[in-house]
Amino acid sequence: MIGSTVVRLCLALVVLCAIAPIARGDGSPPVAGPEESLDKKIAVWRFDALGIDPEIVQRLETLFRMELGRLDRQPLPTPHAIERTITDPRERECTGEDRCLAAIGKRLGVDLIVTGTVGSLGDNYVLTIKAVDVATARSQRIQTDPLRGSPDDLIESVRVAAYRLLAPGQLHGAVQIESDLVGARVTLDGKPLGKTPLPGGGVIGHLALGKHVLRVEADKYEPIEQDVDVRFQKVSPVVVHLLPSEVVGTGRTIVTERKPFYTRTWFIVAAGAVAIGIGAAIGYEAFHRPCYIGGQMDMPCK
């Protein structure tokens, strides 16, 4: 089981490292370079493995270097160049303390030095990135939430960490909203987006990463409200099917049945009163009706 996971991670990382400069790997167009790259000189010290295959961590480190190289205008020192420059055994054994990392950064002539750890606990992975400002020896730490099992999620976390470190303004994704109904009203996080079909093929871009609340509604149809997960530099497709509703604006089906008039309360009360009146009249007529006995009328009939 562990060997299978390792193989899957290695294969996914190899493929992504090979195609990342060209495309995002999800069938979408190539990713354009950042609008404003940083001018700081950056070096990556190393990634440490905590309960995970070191080969996988090495490939994650390679991917991280590649992402930083795409973001930064200054070329990053290669691992070989760092190996030749850092000859002090004490500095070589640096395990991530701010002061020793700052000292290594000064030897390399960079402004920022970055290190990281990838930890594993069962099927969960946690990536931690630490960046130390060489001039002040102060650090900034970026840590992902626990990730479970998916190599793609782990790779995406590495790329997100690189952007979060150097270009947090470019951490965004998109959703594509499609509906089988024309004219349905669409809102995202309470903000109206228009009616279906939305322009641009329904693609809403530059959304912050994470969950967003999507609502689609139309007259005489049940509204739909659901969470949409926006991922880094990806378009999340959402297909919405609305179901008819018999009552406008309520979102619930209420069936009103027209009853016959003879079942209404007023009719029953009126009919009872009429029946009592007729019964009284019949009784009075029977009591006062004349009787004929032997050809002679007897008043009243008894």
pLDDT digits (tens, 9 = 90+) for 43-94: 999 999 988 888 888 888 999 999 888 888 888 999 999 999 998 888 888 8
Q: DSSP readout, 6-38?
A: HHHHHHHHHHHHHHTTT--SSSSPPPPPPSS-B
In angstroms, the Cα distances linking 128 to 20, 60, 61, 144, 145 are 22, 12, 12, 7, 10
Beta carbons within 8 Å of 30's beta carbon, 6+ residues apart: 22, 23, 24
As a whole number, the mean pLDDT across the chain is 76
Model confidence band, residue 134 (pLDDT cutoffs 50, 70, 90):
very high
Residue 211 in this model has a pLDDT that exceeds 90: yes
CB 186 within 8 A of CB 47: no
pTM of the entire predicted model: 0.62
30 within some domain: yes
Residue 257 in this model has a pLDDT that exceeds 60: no
On whether both 81 and 212 belong to a single domain, the answer is no
Q: For the chain, what is the domain count? A: 3
On whether both 74 and 115 belong to a single domain, the answer is yes
Domain boundary among 170, 194, 213: 170
> Is pLDDT larger for residue 25 or for residue 96?
96
Q: Which two tokens stand for residue 65?
A: 């270097």
98 within some domain: yes
CATH number at residue 233: 2.60.40.1120
251 within some domain: no
On whether both 42 and 16 belong to a single domain, the answer is yes
Domain boundary among 170, 196, 219: 170
In terms of residue numbers, what domain contains 74? Answer: 2-170
252 within some domain: no
CB 288 within 8 A of CB 280: no
Residue 252 in this model has a pLDDT that exceeds 60: no
On whether both 116 and 33 belong to a single domain, the answer is yes
> Is pLDDT larger for residue 18 or for residue 282?
282
On whether both 144 and 284 belong to a single domain, the answer is no
248 within some domain: no
Could you give the CA distance from residue 128 to residue 95 in angstroms, rounded to a whole number?
13
126 within some domain: yes
Model confidence band, residue 112 (pLDDT cutoffs 50, 70, 90):
very high
Largest CA distance in the chain: 151
Model confidence band, residue 166 (pLDDT cutoffs 50, 70, 90):
confident
On whether both 6 and 145 belong to a single domain, the answer is yes
